[in-house]
Structure 1
Amino acid sequence: MGLAWQQGPLATGAIGRFLVPGDLPERLLFAEPLRRRMRVRLGDSWIADSEDVVLLHEPARYPVAYFPLADVVADVLEAEARTTQHKDLGATAWFTVRAGETSKRRSAWQHTELPDYASDLKGRVAFAWRAMDAFFEEDERIVGHAADAYHRIDIRQTSRHLVVRDGERVVADSSRPLVLFESGFAPRWYVPREDVEHDALTPVEGQTFCPYKGLCSYYDIGAAGHAAWSYQEAWTEVRRISGMVSFEADKVEVELDGKRLEPEPGQGVISHGVDRDLSVEELSG
């Protein structure tokens, strides 16, 4: 996803390449101003509030927000004896974060011996996303991880013919699928429920969460586990795929205009699970 995750240009599994004469460093980190007001809540308290957040993109990691120490509430950070070494950014000091009766160990960090090239992060601290109770941009809660401005989703209507089979059984047959193009992923094809054999889908317990699409439900198809998925109530930005069904091409046969689709390298999704132990109801709301 985005700039440094999945198959983005700075990711370890990037599918493209930079057209430069020499070799690039094995790892490229990218820091930039977020240019959005971000706030952090722990317990009943706002512990950080800043319009000067820097977002760090690091290969194979979600974006991380770094706050100026001046924008963190006094006495919230309690230094720990623990120090670690970041492979690019040097010594890292860790903090317990306290707010009222709430205390979270090892839930904030600061790079204390930054090399000159990483001075953008000097005097800044980051909070562990799952340890905090909430992150907000303005008055809207952000779940999953800091929003990646380079992550994009485009949805297009198409009249291409998509057929899904489980052995000899036709599970879906549609000439009106939607194709979803998402940064770092191969295209995903979504079929209207009316074009799916409803009794071919067996609902599976448990859901996963996408910070850009919402809660995802899964289905078995015959003996193929988790062979299909659906966002029953997709978030506003991708509302068009709500209730539609997409299929895993490595678990059932997915054919587009007579050509069988094959899974593309690096397309395995690392699930978020449910963010910070939030309930399904809270995420849905």
Structure 2
Amino acid sequence: MSSNRNDLDRARAAWRWRGQQRPDFAVTPGPGQESVWDYPRPPAYVPDSRHVSVYAGDTLLADTHCAMRVLETGSPPTFYLPPESVDMAQLTPSDRRTFCEWKGRAEYFHVTDSSGRRIDNALWRYPDAFDDAAPIAGWFACYPSQLRCFVDGEAVRAQAGGYYGGWITDELVGPFKGEPGTGHW
């Protein structure tokens, strides 16, 4: 997809749910829980001071109390980590690129753990994020399906589907985008 204004407008308009009203199929959150159906589209960028740690195997890759949660309708939050919290020596640039109609063009990175095992395209970032996504420009996100991720010691569960990088924790209720049949939810 290009960043041409007409293409962007078409892609943005394709989304059915935008967080204004929780659909009937959404789970009602209990005390201390959040419904991903209350998140907005375009996404919100929310600072999070909880302890976030990411491991490649047993090797610590990132550690911070200064993450940014990206909240978008129907998806578990994606956590973005400041560059200074990531061990850059474990990263190798990838040729993979993707495009998000809300954030811009993403570049990807392979991770090498202490045993020398390479985990392909495990992290990404938006080096030149669109204006609304400026709070995450240059920050790293990762796939909890490929890396071990923790929020305040709780092991994160991966969002289904392989494309999305949402972090599922006990505080969230769905259902979550990424399952078969959820395109343009």
TM-score between the two structures when normalised by the length of structure 2: 0.66
Aligned residue number for residue 8 of structure 1: none
Contact 2:3 2:104 in 1 (8 A): no
Report if the CA contact (8 A) 1:144-1:210 is conserved: no
* CA drift at 1:268: 3.3
Are 1:155 and 2:45 matched, yes or no? Answer: yes
1:149-199 deviation per Cα after TM superposition (whole angstroms, max 9, x unaligned): 733201111110000111221100000000000123210000000111011
Deviation beyond 6 Å, 4+ runs, structure 1? none
Could you say which residue in structure 2 is the equivalent of 1:177? 67
Give a deviation string over 1:230-258, Cα, whole Å, max 9, x none. 00011001110000001100101111100
Q: Which residue type is aligned with residue 205 of structure 1?
A: D
The answer on 1:264 being equivalent to 2:159 is yes
Are 2:78 and 1:214 aligned? no
Q: Secondary structure at the match of 2:46?
A: strand
Matched residue SS, 1:142:
helix
CA contact (8 A) 1:158 1:179 kept: yes
- One-letter code of the match for 2:6? I
C-alpha separation between the residues in 2 aligned to 1:155 and 1:188?
10
**Structure 2: distance between partners of 1:145 and 1:268:** 22
Post-superposition offset of 1:267: 6.2
- Which structure has the highest strand share of the two? 1
Largest Rg, 1 or 2: 1
Given residue 232 of structure 1, which amino acid in structure 2 is its aligned partner? P
User: What is the aligned-residue RMSD (CA, Å)?
Assistant: 2.2
Is residue 193 of structure 1 aligned with residue 83 of structure 2? Answer: yes
Letter in 1 for 2:156: L
**Could you tell me whether the CA contact under 8 Å between 2:70 and 2:80 is conserved in 1?**
yes
Pick one of 56, 63, 66 that aligns with 1:166: 56
**Aligned ranges 1:1-285 → 2 under 5 Å:** 141-144=5-8, 146=10, 147-148=12-13, 150=18, 151-222=41-112, 223-266=118-161, 268-269=163-164
Query: Alpha-carbon deviation of 1:206?
Result: 3.1
Q: Deviations over 1:23-55 (max 9, x none)?
A: xxxxxxxxxxxxxxxxxxxxxxxxxxxxxxxxx
Residues 193 and 134 of structure 1: is their aligned pair in 2 closer, same or farther, counting only changes over 3 Å? closer
1:89 maps to none
Quick one: distance in 2 between partners of 1:175 and 1:157? 10
In structure 1, stretches of 5+ residues that fail to align are 1-129, 136-140, 270-285
* Paired residue total: 133
